[in-house]
Amino acid sequence: MRIELSGHYGYGRIVRTMLPVVAMMLVTSIYSIVDGLFISNFIGSTPFAAMNIIWPVLAIIGTLGLMLGSGGSALVSKTLGEGDPERACEIFSMIVYLAIIAGVTIATIVFILMPQIVVLLGSKGEMIPHAITYGRILTVAMPAFILQMMFQSFFMTAEKPQLGTRMSIISGCINIGLDALFILVFGWGLIGAAIATALALGVGGLYPLFFFSSKKNTTHLQFTRFAKMDWRAVGRSCTNGLSEFVGNIAFNLVGIAYNWQLMRFIGEDGVSAYGILLYFSFILAALFIGYNTGMTQVIAYNYGAGNKEELSSLLRKSIVLIGIGGIMITLLAETGAPVISRMFVGYDETLTALTTRALHLYMISFLICGYNLFCSAWFTALNNGVVSATAAFARTLVFEMSCIFILPTILGIDGVWLAVDFAEIFALILSVILILGFRKRYGY
């Protein structure tokens, strides 16, 4: 089944079109969660905390793929909307080649520096060797992780989002199956968990590379083998995706700040509780991120085609759908908090109570965070990476980072969990100002 970018999008068509992309992001978000469940329940709390300490660095590396994918696909979709498919394929090819080269280079550097990175992140005692082991094994798979994150957007541009969903489901099943085999059957512990995730990431990253290179690829995105490197187009792609890059790096830097504050206030248990909180929020945020990943291509296509009426329609309908989604997700999060806590750390009553409290306070943010995520995606689709990055940067690195350090001095440990709620309120005000401020320029 092919999903077309052109034509009018009513509510029903939006939902049908975005579902495969949302499902793809949802399954992708399960990787670290699966490892967390197995490590916490079958290996121990110290390896679990060590994994949570190093994961933000690995996520930052994967963010490169998100930047190239979201920014590059927006430019490719815009070029297709302008009626230049040959140029669109050249841009697509350049971005893929760049992702491979950058991925291998960065992974090599991080692998070598892993011991120093682990200590810098605040690892102590027995956590250090666990974090180094897990981090180095996963670093080997980072080039594939970058490709997987990048191709999530390009599957939608190719009008084949269901292939991305299929790929993510297969990769997720591989991760779960190998975790069970390596940890429960072979008894490989943390090493087994890391290898399972690395192999799953390898499948998720290499499959789309083979698909777009094969004769089975009948989409309008084809590799141009000898495409010259157009640094201007590469620069525009990176600028377009700057918000996703800055936003996710900022998010993971904020995660490091959370871990630092929690180690300072309550120690290893705080890091474990925050790790569980992130797992749950990864799944819920994936619903918004998946919607934005798919919608960005539709918006960019209509922007390139000069269809301002459809742009306005997409904006109005997205505001309604995100509002409904925010209410449903928040209700799900609040009611599911005790279940999630017991699932991960039911063996420790004190840690279960701490985690449940953290989830209840943190998950209020989902009432409005969808709007702030969409604001960045909206300007990425309009190929205005500077405004998009400004919104993403302010939301996390300015508002949330400030709240992490200020609120605990007033509210104690609850201030750490409430930091994101206050940050989202400030970010929503900025999002409204940006959306309204650029209406005349883009005519929506």
pLDDT value of position 55:
82
For the cut 80, the answer to whether the pLDDT of residue 229 exceeds it is: no
pLDDT value of position 216:
83
Average the pLDDT over 250-265 and give the result.
80
Report pLDDT digits (tens) over 7-26.
889 999 998 888 887 877 77
pLDDT value of position 247:
67
DSSP 222: -
Q: How far apart are the first and last CA of the chain?
A: 30
For the cut 80, the answer to whether the pLDDT of residue 364 exceeds it is: yes
**Top-confidence residue, 432 or 74:** 432
For the cut 70, the answer to whether the pLDDT of residue 231 exceeds it is: yes
| Dist CA 17 CA 23 (whole Å) | 11
The number of beta carbons lying within 10 Å of the beta carbon of residue 166 is 17
Average the pLDDT over 147-157 and give the result.
86
Question: In sequence order, what are the residues at sequence separation of 6 or more whose Cβ sits closer than 8 angstroms to the Cβ of residue 246?
Answer: 389, 392, 393, 397
- Say what the pTM is: 0.71
pLDDT value of position 66:
81
Lowest average pLDDT, out of 19-23, 131-135, 138-142, 324-328, goes to: 19-23
Lowest average pLDDT, out of 19-28, 264-273, 301-310, goes to: 19-28
DSSP H or E segment with residue 19? helix 11-28
**Top-confidence residue, 127 or 246:** 127
For the cut 60, the answer to whether the pLDDT of residue 378 exceeds it is: yes
For the cut 60, the answer to whether the pLDDT of residue 399 exceeds it is: yes
DSSP 240: H
Report pLDDT digits (tens) over 17-54.
888 878 777 776 766 577 777 888 889 878 888 887 88
The answer to whether the Cα torsion of 416, 421, 422, 424 is positive or negative is positive
Integer CA distances (angstroms), 28 to 200, 312, 359, 420, in order: 10, 31, 22, 23
For the cut 70, the answer to whether the pLDDT of residue 244 exceeds it is: no
What's the chain's average pLDDT? 87
Average the pLDDT over 192-221 and give the result.
89
For the cut 70, the answer to whether the pLDDT of residue 241 exceeds it is: no
pLDDT value of position 322:
96
Give residue 310's identity as a one-letter amino acid code: E
pLDDT value of position 223:
84
Report pLDDT digits (tens) over 82-129.
888 888 888 898 899 889 999 999 999 999 999 999 988 878 888 899
DSSP H or E segment with residue 227? none
**Top-confidence residue, 271 or 98:** 98
**Top-confidence residue, 368 or 163:** 368
DSSP H or E segment with residue 434? helix 413-437
Average the pLDDT over 176-189 and give the result.
93
| Dist CA 438 CA 219 (whole Å) | 34
SS3 category, 360: helix
Q: Is residue 247 within 8 Å of 394, Cβ to Cβ?
A: no
Q: Domain residues of the chain, as ranges?
A: 11-442
- From the centroid of its chain, how far is CA 18? 16
Q: Is residue 68 within 8 Å of 241, Cβ to Cβ?
A: yes
**Top-confidence residue, 236 or 443:** 443
As given in the structure block, the two tokens for residue 38 are 């197995």
